[in-house]
Amino acid sequence: MSRVGKLPVSVPAGVDVSVKVDQISVKGAGGTLQLAQNRLVKIVSDAGKLTFAPANDSREADAMSGTMRQLVNNMVVGVSKGFEKKLSLIGVGYKAQASGAKLNLAVGYSHPVNIDMPVGITVATPTPTEIVIKGADRQRVGQIAAEIRAVRPPEPYKGKGIRYVDEKITIKETKKK
C-alpha cells in the first residue's frame, strides 16, 4: 500500500468535509473546494480524521489512494491556511503593479503585460519587484505563478527575468575568443 495513502488526514476545527458518492467537498474560512470521487479509493470519515484505502488490490488503486489522500489534504490545508507563491523580478526597469484582480507587468517589452486573476486567486505587490500570489487551491496558485513566470523566464547569462523567490539560476559563462 502507498506510504502516503496510509496516513490519515486530520480535519481541523472550522473545516467541514462532506464525502458523497461522486464528489468530495471541503468548506472552510478560505472558501469551498470540490474534487471528483475516484471509484478506486474508499474514503472513511471518523472523529475528525479521513482515511483512504484502495478499493481493490490493483496497482492503480494503490497509487490512487495516495494521490487522493494528498489532494484532499491540500484542499483541507487550502481552505484553512491557504497557499502562496512568491515571485521576484530581476532586471533594470522591471516592475509589477497589482490593481484589484489584475497584474500589470513591465518586463522589457514594448508594451505592458496585463494578466487577469481568476476567481479565488489574489495577487499583491509589496514592492515593485515582488509578486505574491495567494489562494485556497494549490494547483491554481501554482499554475498562475507558472504563467506569470512564463511571461519573461530568467535568462541564463545575466539572470534577468521573473523567477520564484527560492529558485536558483545557474549563470552560464559568456563565450571567449
CATH code of the domain in which 21 resides: 3.90.930.12
Residues 6+ apart with CB under 8 A from 124: 98, 131, 132, 134
The grid coordinates of residue 158 equal: 545575466
Classify residue 172 by its DSSP letter: P
Q: Based on the domain organization, do 141 and 99 belong to the same domain?
A: yes
- The answer to the question of residue 170 being in a domain is no
> How far apart (Å, rounded) are the C-alpha atoms in residues 126 and 140?
21
Q: Based on the domain organization, do 69 and 90 belong to the same domain?
A: no
Q: Based on the domain organization, do 61 and 88 belong to the same domain?
A: no
Query: What is the reported pTM?
Result: 0.89
The grid coordinates of residue 47 equal: 472523529
- The answer to the question of residue 174 being in a domain is no
- The answer to the question of residue 173 being in a domain is no
Q: Based on the domain organization, do 14 and 32 belong to the same domain?
A: yes
- The answer to the question of residue 23 being in a domain is yes
Provide the residue range defining the domain that includes 39. Answer: 3-80
The grid coordinates of residue 62 equal: 494503490
Q: Based on the domain organization, do 69 and 116 belong to the same domain?
A: no
pLDDT for 1 beyond 70: no
- pLDDT, tens only, 42-73: 999 888 899 999 999 999 999 999 999 999 99
Q: What average pLDDT does this structure show over 125-147?
A: 96
Q: Based on the domain organization, do 124 and 74 belong to the same domain?
A: no
Classify residue 167 by its DSSP letter: -
pLDDT of residue 2: 67
User: What is the torsion angle, in degrees rounded to the nearest 10, for the CA atoms of residue 42, residue 57, residue 139 and residue 8?
Assistant: 50
Q: What average pLDDT does this structure show over 138-151?
A: 96
Q: Based on the domain organization, do 89 and 155 belong to the same domain?
A: yes
Average pLDDT score, the chain? 93
Q: Based on the domain organization, do 71 and 9 belong to the same domain?
A: yes
Q: Based on the domain organization, do 10 and 75 belong to the same domain?
A: yes
Q: What average pLDDT does this structure show over 135-164?
A: 95
In DSSP notation, 44-60 reads EEETTEEEEEESSS-HH
